[in-house]
Structure 1
């Protein structure tokens, strides 16, 4: 786990301005509106534009993951404490893997600042508020030095002016809401049962299917040491199904879709019978965790057709 670090100088940083799911829990009712926003790939460019005038702190997390669950209330509380001096943008990497790839996130949670469209890596993992305040103070100092001096206005009642917030969505179907509530409570078995109930009612419910695939992935990687899993897979042969399956899960969970897909395609190319079927089934399950038109999914589907026929 990396320690919180000072933000780097903006000179030479990667420009994010060209970047144009399971539902995360809503911000706490005590958090003024607009200080915490949930960001998708479709709305991320709005956040990048907002960083031209107001400092944005991006939290790459995963709904249901232990350290993410622990860090989230701390970051929400700090956003409220700082009273609009920065916006906290939460990105669920499982639902938005391309954002994780752009930031080259290796683990969750990972936290970065974005100033004038430029990312500044801050820290990875979960830390108490007293260790994070100095990091945020340094972000605000860097923002001041680079002319990013805007703030989110918070009125005397604690309400913040909405900027870049997503529109209010209609209530979720009961089974789907129950599943997300279970994920927030770290009850993966309950979430899986709720998603399964939703699919029994409507087998074509794509949100339930994607949610179930995510929960199954979380259950499979729980307790795994990612570095050890990947090292074991790299030492094993491409056809070693027992080594390659968890490695593909770890890579996809960390946002490395292309690597995880390629790993399973390697198994399919050199295997036959049950092993080949198992690798193909897992690959199809992992496809559900990304948009149908994601470049990684499109390419992997094409490669799968070639490998099979």
Structure 2
């Protein structure tokens, strides 16, 4: 039996907890950091992704040696501070945090990218005038509002509130209650209903993908699955089973590599199930994760 615990699907998250070395949900920004301007590292980036599901986040990728970065930084901090909690500024030193830099494909800096519900939004590159910064940030906030991300961070408080979490939508709460009770079928039904009512509910879509993964692996035998996959390398079902178990165990690159190799070898008319499973697993791990970016790029090259 695989060691998979349905309770590992954390409240409000969109990724399996084993996929990222994320801090706890109530982890605080670095001591002494302003509440609206936080320094982000490779280790704490997952926390910022989660924050962006309720509050728009502007990411400033910079370096100590970069003169234009030092010109732009104070402008961004001033604009964000004046918005009084409607947006958070996450500052990333690209030299010290190469994983985040790679996730955003930061080929030149300063690079400013927005995050809305965990998804990146290109804003601008280079040191631009303050008026242009204000205009772009305003457009970014309008985009966030269109996607329902309109939360705020109380000025003067930590970006992640020490108090109780806001209540979940009823169907989300029902799903998490069902997961805690071990009733994965009921959890899946609740997430499916949430998606039917709101097709743009990314948290419900990711939650449903988590539950389906747990359903597929909860009674699986890893040793037997690997033996079957080794014996039948072109058997789609056998390879999908091992990829699921790898994902559940946190072996993300192994899972992606297995499915992409299989996709490359299959005839075009047999590739559909593999592509669908890859897209589902991309959703689980997170579109900004470097492993997903690499795998998605390879999948695109295989398609075209």
The higher relative CO (CA closer than 8 Å, separation ≥ 6) is in: 2
